[in-house]
Structure 1
Amino acid sequence: MNINFQFLIELFKYKPNDPLVFSTSLFLFLFLFFLLIYNFIGKNKSLRLSFLILFSLYFYYKSTGYYAGIIIISAVVNFLFAKGIAATDRMLFKRIYLLFAVIINIAILGYFKYTNFILQIFSEINKTNFEPLSIFLPIGISFYTFKSLSYVFDVYLETLEPTKSFRDFCVYVFFFPNILMGPIDRASKFLPQIDNEPFLSKEDLGRASLLLMVGLFKKVVIADYISLNFVDRIFDFPLRYTGVENLLAIYGYTLQVYCDFSGYTDMAIGVALFFGFKLMDNFNSPFKATSIADFWRRWHISLSTWLLDYIFKPLQFSIRSLKIWANIIAIFITFVICGVWHGAGWNFIIWGAMHGFMMSFALITQKPKQKLYTLLKINNTKFLKFFQTLITFHLIAFSFLIFRTSDFQIIKDMFSQIFDFFHAEVFIQFAEKLPVILGLIILGYILHFMPTKIENVFKKLVIALPWYFQAVLMVIVIWIVAQFKSADIAPFIYFQF
């Protein structure tokens, strides 16, 4: 047998444009190999956890190269400061430890993510030419920074007893399924699971398999296909297309963002289940939301609850004497921070501020709206809920325009085409020329808006199937994914955050 060892070595080395993600064949191979070894050594806790840490670090190395060392520094810093907070009874020292932990975490995150943006702002103020510095942005740095900080905050607030084991803390921070794009799990939920021996019940096996299949389908078949073959083309040159096509691209991108991010989350939760860990749910049919506040209770739940617990509540409490204005100010600041967390660009700041404004406006008008609904006798009716959902969805969809592009001329051009060059008759031509694209967009929204009862019945049926039927289903899904997969794997949208 001729084995090309050089090829194998290159295959396992870090490549900047080839991260190790769940939708690649290399990951599936390594995952099965690692899972076999992990279960074989399952009764030896020390060996099992050490192996998990090493594999998680390798997984992260495949995405960031030697910048993987940053996550090790982050783990050491946050473990020591949390330990210092717990070890002292003096509030002054606790606050000093907390302050230094926050400064170091934000400094690391800020350098890699925001340095060029800040320098660009100063350059524009001084009207000088700006040459961006060559700074590599490690994938997932925003996620594991917030995850590590939540541990420090919880220890400081005395809602969590700090772990004495640095190894266990490393398992929490490095855990590979959610290291790149979340969910941003809480240590209070994750750390107790470390002591459990690997055990996969029939229900967990079925749920894990279903999540992997659904996640792969969302990411590759829906998100990647409609992006590469339709959405990107419209956003690149909106004036070449009619208003109908521009509007469909907005709907398509809204679905793409959801399927891309929730698809990763589904796979992350499914992969974690195979190793005996249960991560928090991160999405709950967000486009069914009847308000912007309801949307954030359903979208990126781990981030929205993080912002609620560690930004909004302390801020709102500190200015509570302002009454309703305390809520409004706290909401607005929290969502500006949410925008900044997503990316270094004015479009993200405006996107966050837009959500803060919409939530604040809804809060101010809450009582008048309720009086109007009662007067019209439509309060708590399906009619009202339908229109609330419809309006909320379109507010979210159009806000994603700003989320996607920093070129506001593109946004202007898309609105110009929608309002001045709509041409509804083009929809028939679009359906005839791009039936797969239209079909996938419609299918994606049908599946998303499917009644919860029907969705739960389907889940129970798949989970109840014997493992060999689940394996057949998995093979079918992988085959379907292979038919839609392009030569180059489209990176996950949230990798940039």
Structure 2
Amino acid sequence: MSGWLSWFFSVENLKSIFTYNNDAPLIFTQFFFWAFFAVVLLFYSILHKKRGLRNAYLFLVSLFFYYKTSGLFISILLFSTMSDYIIGMLIHSSKKQLVKKIFLATSVIINLFVLCYFKYAYFFTDAYNAFFQTDYHVFNHFAQFTNNTIGSHFDVDSILLPVGISFYTFQTISYSVDIYREQIKPVKSILDFGFYVSFFPQLVAGPIVRAADFIPQLYLPYQLTKYNFGLSLFWILKGLIKKVVIGDYIAVNFIDRIFDAPTMYTGFENLMALYGYSLQVYADFSGYTDIAIGIALLMGFSLPTNFNSPYKAKNVGEFWKRWHISLSGWLRDYLYIPLGGNRGGSWGTWISALFIGLFIVLLSGKMLVLYIFIWVLICLVFLAIWIKRFREWLTTNINLLITMLLGGLWHGASWQFVIWGGLNGLGLMVYKLWKKISPYEKYNNFLAIAFKVFITLNFITFTRIWFRAESMGTTWQIIHQIGNNFSFALIPAILVSYSNVFIVMAIGYAIHWLPTKTKNWYQETFINLPLVVKILLTTLTFFGIYQAMSSGMQAFIYFQF
């Protein structure tokens, strides 16, 4: 015991606990996180009945969690928290509608400016240099300010992306919009608002929590029923199994190797890597949000479901209602519908279209693309004027395409994400036309459903080439290998060589496609087990998961967004 205490209280180990390590950010799959969470729960059990102290306490531990994840980028989180708290109060207290709109626009502009500065600085600098033949370099004003303020030594010649910035900026925007729409009232204190923005289970990779859904929970008394306790354990275990046992295993042992050097593998291996990546990105991302939901539930807070068996979708439209539900719903309610939805275009539609067009022109860095964009725009305008049916089709679908393109750009400023978002937008538009003439749309027997699911899965998997590949060159290499070097004769040997990977993939998809009744059955069975049995199973599962863990800690995929 004395040896353990001396280790714990040594200066170096205390420093490692309370300081940020760029090489080891805090993530759910680390043992340190679960020790941190146990300490959080210990003090939470003392404070949970006093709502003000409870919220302030969770705000502080959330800040510590974010500091351990992102270091001094915590100041950006605090800036967003402070600015939107003040703006929210100003929106609510303003009597004139015009003033409310001005404050709302201020909130949106500030949040998007912060997001764009950290996420798209390299893109805009490179685009400017390409157009005007200059040689400007990115300069990190935030790092310079920090160095001057606290004497740190951050590199001012590079800009790193703060973890989770895309998620919490969308949350703070939803807060301002919901106050403007009078769906909620401003929170009573900045500590409450800070807790909403920074709640650590969902802070760095979602789900995106809307103010109207979460803020009312801040003022409810703590309650954890026996059922919710079992449900929270089930969510956590399910998420860890998805992430560690399925997602990380197939990534480390197969998928990453293929995407790193596609030409070294056959077309069959490249194709299987695509199917594997579809499973991996689902297991990884939904695994994170499952853990987040379970952790939040233990503390008495309800987070929205973010995935609903998306590979059971029978069409692209249904897929996007099942995948990353919090982002899809956010884009629908705060972008697609305000633009006009399927009712037609608006001024916002055409401004957004112009913005996307200019973004693509800058992305290309070539004046020729600008001329092509102008020519296409003129053609679309003339066709819309002279052909009524085309005009109706364009105005009822343009918002859909714009939303998906902006969703792609939300992930990053690259051709890869533009094409990925555009393909999904076109997929939605084509399906809207197809379902009007499809002879199969009305059939819902097993074979018809299986066929629809198969087509949808393959389309989504195909678009993920652009989502996963590091460059356009890698993308075309994968497509070329699948189309020209499939090597049918080698398939049996490949299946044997990667038998464990393919077995895990088969099990992963099989579990995903289990009927909802079956999934509900084993969930309810776990929840209704005696408490001692639940704890024993949880302990054994934790032990088994970490025994099966692949070499090294694999960061969650959506941390990069």
TM-score by length of 1: 0.95
Q: Who is 2:290 aligned against?
A: 266
Shift of the alpha carbon at 1:487? 4.0
| More deviation, 484-493/222-231 | 484-493
In 1, are the aligned partners of 2:56 and 2:192 still within 8 Å (CA)?
A: no
Shift of the alpha carbon at 1:324? 4.2
Task: Specify the code of the residue in structure 2 equivalent to 1:97.
Answer: F
Q: Who is 2:418 aligned against?
A: 349
Structure 2 matches for 1:53-452, cutoff 5 A? Answer: 53-127=59-133, 133-316=157-340, 319=344, 323-369=392-438, 372-373=439-440, 379-452=443-516
Distance 1:47 1:93 in 2: 34
In 1, are the aligned partners of 2:125 and 2:137 still within 8 Å (CA)?
A: no
Shift of the alpha carbon at 1:128? 5.3
Shift of the alpha carbon at 1:131? 5.0
1:9 maps to which of 3, 15, 25: 15
| More deviation, 84-93/258-267 | 84-93
Q: Who is 2:360 aligned against?
A: none
In 2, are the aligned partners of 1:63 and 1:139 still within 8 Å (CA)?
A: yes
Aligned residue pairs total 492
In 2, are the aligned partners of 1:168 and 1:194 still within 8 Å (CA)?
A: yes
In 2, are the aligned partners of 1:212 and 1:266 still within 8 Å (CA)?
A: yes
| More deviation, 195-204/18-27 | 195-204
Q: Who is 1:493 aligned against?
A: 557
Shift of the alpha carbon at 1:327? 2.8
Alpha-carbon deviations, 1:361-397, whole Å to 9, x = none? Answer: 222333122xx337xxx63333322211111101101
Q: Who is 2:41 aligned against?
A: 35
In 2, are the aligned partners of 1:39 and 1:198 still within 8 Å (CA)?
A: no
Distance 2:503 2:443 in 1: 35
Distance 2:222 2:322 in 1: 30
Distance 1:43 1:275 in 2: 12
Alignment partner of 2:440: what SS?
Answer: helix
Alpha-carbon deviations, 1:151-184, whole Å to 9, x = none? Answer: 1111112222222322221111111111001111
Task: Specify the code of the residue in structure 2 equivalent to 1:100.
Answer: T
Alignment partner of 1:19: what SS?
Answer: coil
Task: Specify the code of the residue in structure 1 equivalent to 2:277.
Answer: Y
Alignment partner of 1:373: what SS?
Answer: coil
Distance 1:428 1:201 in 2: 52
| More deviation, 155-164/19-28 | 155-164
Shift of the alpha carbon at 1:198? 2.6
Alignment partner of 2:340: what SS?
Answer: helix
In 2, are the aligned partners of 1:343 and 1:496 still within 8 Å (CA)?
A: no
Alignment partner of 1:23: what SS?
Answer: coil
Distance 2:444 2:241 in 1: 35
Q: Who is 1:481 aligned against?
A: 545
Task: Specify the code of the residue in structure 1 equivalent to 2:398.
Answer: I
In 1, are the aligned partners of 2:235 and 2:291 still within 8 Å (CA)?
A: yes
In 2, are the aligned partners of 1:81 and 1:97 still within 8 Å (CA)?
A: yes
Shift of the alpha carbon at 1:430? 2.6
Query: Would you say 1:470 and 2:534 are equivalent positions?
Result: yes
Query: Would you say 1:18 and 2:24 are equivalent positions?
Result: yes
Alpha-carbon deviations, 1:441-467, whole Å to 9, x = none? Answer: 111101111111111101110111122
Shift of the alpha carbon at 1:16? 1.3
In 1, are the aligned partners of 2:69 and 2:163 still within 8 Å (CA)?
A: yes
**Aligned residues: CA RMSD:** 1.7
In 2, are the aligned partners of 1:147 and 1:185 still within 8 Å (CA)?
A: yes
Alpha-carbon deviations, 1:157-214, whole Å to 9, x = none? Answer: 2222222322221111111111001111111221121223332111111111011111
In 1, are the aligned partners of 2:232 and 2:298 still within 8 Å (CA)?
A: yes
Task: Specify the code of the residue in structure 2 equivalent to 1:309.
Answer: D
Distance 2:345 2:412 in 1: 30
Alpha-carbon deviations, 1:84-111, whole Å to 9, x = none? Answer: 1111121110111011111111010110
Shift of the alpha carbon at 1:130? 7.0
Task: Specify the code of the residue in structure 2 equivalent to 1:251.
Answer: Y
Shift of the alpha carbon at 1:468? 1.7
Alignment partner of 1:365: what SS?
Answer: helix
Task: Specify the code of the residue in structure 2 equivalent to 1:20.
Answer: L
TM-score by length of 2: 0.85
Q: Who is 1:46 aligned against?
A: 52
Distance 2:521 2:542 in 1: 23
In 1, are the aligned partners of 2:267 and 2:485 still within 8 Å (CA)?
A: yes
Alignment partner of 1:271: what SS?
Answer: helix
| More deviation, 14-23/194-203 | 194-203
Q: Who is 2:143 aligned against?
A: none
5+ long unaligned stretches in structure 1: none
